[in-house]
A and B are shown apart, each in its own frame.
Chain A
Amino acid sequence: MTRFPILLDIYQRGDGPLKRVERISLPEAGDYAIGRSSENQIVLDTPEISKRHAWLLVRDDGIAVSDRGSTNRTYIGDTEVDTSPWDGALPIRIAQFEIHLVPQTAAGAAATKVNVPQDNATRALASGPATGAPSPAPRGQSIEVALNAPNAPDEMRFPRNVFKNEIVSAEELKSSEYFVGEITYLSVGAGLGSFVWADHLRIFGVAKSDIRAIGDDIIPYANYQRLCRNSQIPPHERLRSNSISTPDNIWGFPGYASRETWKELKEFRFTGLKHIFQVFGEASLTQSFTPRSGEVFKSIDSEAQRIGWREMFVSGRVLGIRKTNDERYAVAYRVPEDQARGGVRERIMIGKFLHVATGYPATRFTDDLQAFKARFPEEARVFNAYENHEVVYRTAEQNKMPVTVVVRGRGIVASRIIQRLYEARKKNSGITIVHQMRNPIGAQEGYRYKRAQRYVYNHIENQAFNWPKACWGGQILREVERATPEERAKIYEAIGGTTTADRRDWRNIIQLGIGDGWYKPVFGHFETLELVKTDQGPKIQMKLKAQGSQPAAEVVADFVVDCTGLIGDISHSPCLRDLVETYRLPRNPAVSGAKVGGITVTPDYEITALRNGTGRAYAAGQITLGGPQPAVDSFLGLQYAALRSVDHLGILGAPNVSLFGPLRSFSQWIKWCTNATP
Chain B
Amino acid sequence: MLPTLKGRWLTRILLFLWIGVPITFIFSLLVAGPRSPSLPFAGWHYDILPFQILSLLLLVGLILDPVYIYFQQFRWERDWPFAFQFFFSIVEFVIVLALVWWGVLDFTRPASQLHTSENYLLFTIHFACVFIPSFTALLGFVQIFMIRWRFKGGEWGRM
Contact = CB atoms under 8 A, between A and B. Distances in A.
Interface of A: 244, 250-255, 258, 279-285, 446, 449-455, 463-464, 468-470, 472-478, 603-604, 640, 643-644, 647, 659-660, 662, 665-666, 669
Given A244-B150, A472-B2, A473-B152, A251 B143 contact: yes
Contacts of B72: 475
A474 B83 contact: no
Given A281-B81, A665-B145, A477 B75 contact: no
B75 A253 contact: no
Interface of B: 1-4, 7, 72-79, 81-84, 86, 140-141, 143-148, 150-153, 158-159
A477 to B, nearest CB: 7
Contacts of A283: 77, 79, 81
A478 B81 contact: no
B143 A253 contact: yes
A472 B82 CA distance: 16
A473 B2 contact: yes
B146 A665 contact: yes
A662 B144 CA distance: 8
A475 B153 contact: yes
Given A469-B77, A470-B2, A478-B4, A252 B82 contact: no
Nearest to B7: A474
A647 B148 CA distance: 10
A468 B152 contact: no
Nearest to B141: A253
B82 to A, nearest CB: 5
A563 B76 CA distance: 25
Contacts of B83: 280-281, 284-285
B144 A251 contact: yes
16 contacts: A244-B150, A251-B147, A253-B144, A281-B82, A282-B81, A284-B84, A452-B78, A463-B76, A468-B78, A469-B78, A469-B79, A474-B153, A475-B2, A475-B78, A475-B153, A665-B147
Nearest to A629: B151
B76 A468 contact: yes
A473 B150 contact: yes
Contacts of A255: 140
A539 B147 CA distance: 56
Contacts of B151: 472-473, 477, 640, 643
Contacts of B84: 284
Nearest to A603: B159
Interface centre among B76, B78, B81 (most CB of A within 10 A): B76
A663 to B, nearest CB: 8
B144 A669 contact: yes
B143 A252 contact: yes
Nearest to B148: A643
A126 to B, nearest CB: 61
A474 B79 contact: yes
Interface centre among B2, B72, B147 (most CB of A within 10 A): B147
Contacts of A659: 158
Contacts of B77: 283, 463-464, 468-470
A451 B73 contact: yes
Nearest to A448: B76
Contacts of B2: 469-470, 472-475, 477
A280 B76 contact: no
Contacts of B79: 282-283, 469-470, 474
Contacts of B145: 662, 665-666
B144 A280 contact: no
Contact of A478 (B75, B144, B150, B153): B153
A564 B10 CA distance: 42
A282 B82 contact: yes
A449 B78 CA distance: 10
Contacts of A452: 73-76, 78
A127 B64 CA distance: 81
Contacts of A250: 147
A556 to B, nearest CB: 39
